[in-house]
């Protein structure tokens, strides 16, 4: 069912992010390969390996993605390219900030 119109989770923020992330990865690597030289080949290889660290589910995956995107931006800056970050990926990062924490819920401690 995954990837078809019958997929009940196909329209979730996380699933949309996953689909957009594959496109972002391809776009960023295409840009990096266009400027690859012998001097920066190691940095391009590092950039290519970064997305293997995006693991987990829900807020764990988004936390890992945030770290990968930070490292990706730094490497892209060193290479003189722009790292691709689609609207769906940015939306997931923005929406999941603080996930797993009590947000806006008053907590009362009884003695």
d(CA 92, CA 52): 18
Residue 68 lies in a domain: yes
| pLDDT tens track, the chain, 111 positions | 777 778 777 788 888 898 999 999 999 999 999 999 999 999 999 999 999 999 988 888 889 999 999 999 999 999 999 999 999 999 888 887 755 555 555 555 566
Residue 111 lies in a domain: no
Domain extent, residue 43, equals 13-95
* Total domain count, the chain: 1
Residue 32 lies in a domain: yes
SS3 99: coil
d(CA 14, CA 89): 9
d(CA 91, CA 76): 21
Residue 106 lies in a domain: no
Residue owning tokens 């970064």: 50
């Amino acid at each position: 069912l995954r990837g078809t119109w019958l997929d009940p989770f196909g329209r979730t923020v996380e699933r949309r992010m996953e689909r957009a992330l594959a496109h972002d990865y391809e776009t960023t690597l295409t840009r990096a390969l266009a400027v690859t030289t012998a001097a920066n080949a190691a940095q391009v290889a590092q950039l290519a390996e970064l997305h293997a660290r995006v693991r987990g589910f829900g807020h764990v995956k988004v936390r890992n993605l945030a770290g990968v995107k930070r490292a990706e931006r730094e490497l892209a800056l060193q290479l003189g390219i722009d790292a691709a970050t689609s609207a769906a990926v940015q939306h997931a990062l923005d929406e999941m900030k603080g996930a797993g924490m009590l947000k806006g819920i008053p907590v009362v401690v009884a003695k």
